[in-house]
Structure 1
Amino acid sequence: MSQPVPPPGNPFAQDAAAQQPAGQNPYAQNPAGQAPAGQNPYGQAPDGQNPFGAYPPAPEPRRANVGLGIVAAVVAALVTAGIYGAVMGGIEREIGWAAIGVGFVIGLAAGKVGGSNPVLPVVSAVLSLGAVYVGQLVGIAIVVAKELNVSATDIVFQEFGLLTQAWSEGKDAMTFLFLAIAAFAAFSGAKKAAA
């Protein structure tokens, strides 16, 4: 059995009369198929800019501002110390992940605001030690205030010596571990935030 032979030529081609006249490019914008004088035929503007929209400008390098970084770290230390103390006093125990959060927030604030100055991670670590210590004192004050039915601020401001004595008597290896974890988190947080 024989198969029919297709007719010569391209069956998908349009009629020759419907095609573009000879010498014209159907994709060109002008009949001559050439770019007008002074224009680049490849679609780029003559001044070298991208005709499809500009790329966003490159971010300017962040300047290290040690003073602002330290101020941000101090504010973060005060806020996180209060939060850490409130959480610790509310549940009446120390929490390791909260100490990590205290340190990381302090380091993050210092690094984001202050830049990559090598002083900021060290300052952040020291401030995180103070913040965790103050937070532990606030936590103890809240626990004692619940038992004595007085205000925690009265205990902090009027009985601060007894409060620090209670901290000294209650400290253990975990207390120092939480301090070390907070300092490490602050140091690494400041380094990462400044990168």
Structure 2
Amino acid sequence: MNEELEMLLMEAEASMQKGMDHLEVEMNRIRAGKATPTILDGVSIEYYGAPTPISQVANISILDVRTISIQPWEKNMLAVIERGIMAANIGITPQNDGVQIRLFLPPLTEERRKELFKKASSEGEQAKVTIRNARRDTMDDIKKMQKDGLSEDVAKDIEKKVQDLTDRYIANVEKRLAVKEKEMMTV
């Protein structure tokens, strides 16, 4: 029975960690006025008939705080990459100079910063929902085990561990949101 409880706790933590991992990916996609290659993570292009991430057909580098350089490994891919960026609608117009594509990130307005923070907050709330759902599912499993003969004291102990785990992950989400807010609000 003890091994079963440990597995239950490990499954709950794994589910909560998935929520945190997803939050991290989404936070990296939200640009905060600084150039990062992760802005292009969701952009794929048609490469010999298959959708391919830009990072697999070009060298992506950061020239300065507001400029991303994309240098394709094949020169004929310039126009394809440019169209892919335009189609992805990431809010940046590519500049093609015949050798490489440059993305110039405009400085964010106060209104746009607030809009991006709302999006980040929404992603944070989604992560919290995922964490709470993992807690609920685990608590339901504990109640089922209690009906099947698990003692009330052991059940209360494991429920407390699950709640502590939930609290820790919710606090991590809050910390990540605070870091992103600070990053977005600095001009």
TM-score between both structures, scaled by the size of structure 1: 0.31
Point out the structure with max Rg over C-alpha.
1
TM-score, normalised on structure 2? 0.33
Whichever structure has more helix as a proportion of its residues is: 2
